[in-house]
Amino acid sequence: MFRHLALVSVLAGGLATAGVAAAPHAGPGAAWLKGRAADTPLGRLIAGSLGRWLVLRSELNLTEQQRTQIRDVLVSHRPQIAETVKSVHVKRTALRDAVLQGRSEEQIRAAAGELGSAIADASVKAAKLRNQLAPILTEEQQRLIGRCIEEQDRAVGKFLDQAGGKS
């Protein structure tokens, strides 16, 4: 299920990051990630993640026909995608504010529940979108996406192990 959601995330993220291909290579100490952030575990995780997605974008080697088909599907759902993303953002902001304002446990749990519902709605919509986009891709392209997701999961796991004191 996560792999399918990630497929949609990768493809839908292409709308928002269409110009990312022009960004410099992302890796530890990447020039655009300056100062102390570049040398922190979180900075390296973020830079490495962006680097993996940029490499994937290149490796997918989408044909012009695939690009057009994907763009057409995403553009046809643009209002729903924007509405869904906005809903999750609004609920996340409400939860953050409840925590920062020292609201009661009950209020914080209610805000967290609303965020959970918004995420569930977004996940259902993403799965439907994935079902429209996946047939556009070849088996090899889908395999590359799966590999990228696995690499990302390993990197996050390593980061969390280090943050928790494991080496």
- Separation CA 58–CA 143 (nearest Å): 14
Q: Are 119 and 82 in contact (CB under 8 A)?
A: no
Q: Are 36 and 162 in contact (CB under 8 A)?
A: no
- Give the pLDDT band (50/70/90) at residue 38: low
Report whether pLDDT(27) > 50: no
The answer to whether the predicted template modeling score (pTM) of the entire model surpasses 0.75 is no
- Could you tell me which residues come within 8 angstroms of residue 107 by beta carbon, excluding any fewer than 6 positions away? 98
Q: What angle do CA 49, 51, 57 make, to 5 degrees?
A: 105
Domain map of the chain by residue range?
Answer: 1-61+138-167, 78-136
Amino acid 41: pLDDT: 85
User: Looking at per-residue confidence, does 38 or 3 come out higher?
Assistant: 38
167 — pLDDT class (breaks 50, 70, 90): low
Upper half-sphere CA count for residue 153 (Cβ side, 13 Å): 9
Q: Of 19-28, 139-148, 155-164, which gets the smallest average pLDDT?
A: 19-28
CB atoms within 10 A of CB 27: 14
d(CA 157, CA 53): 17
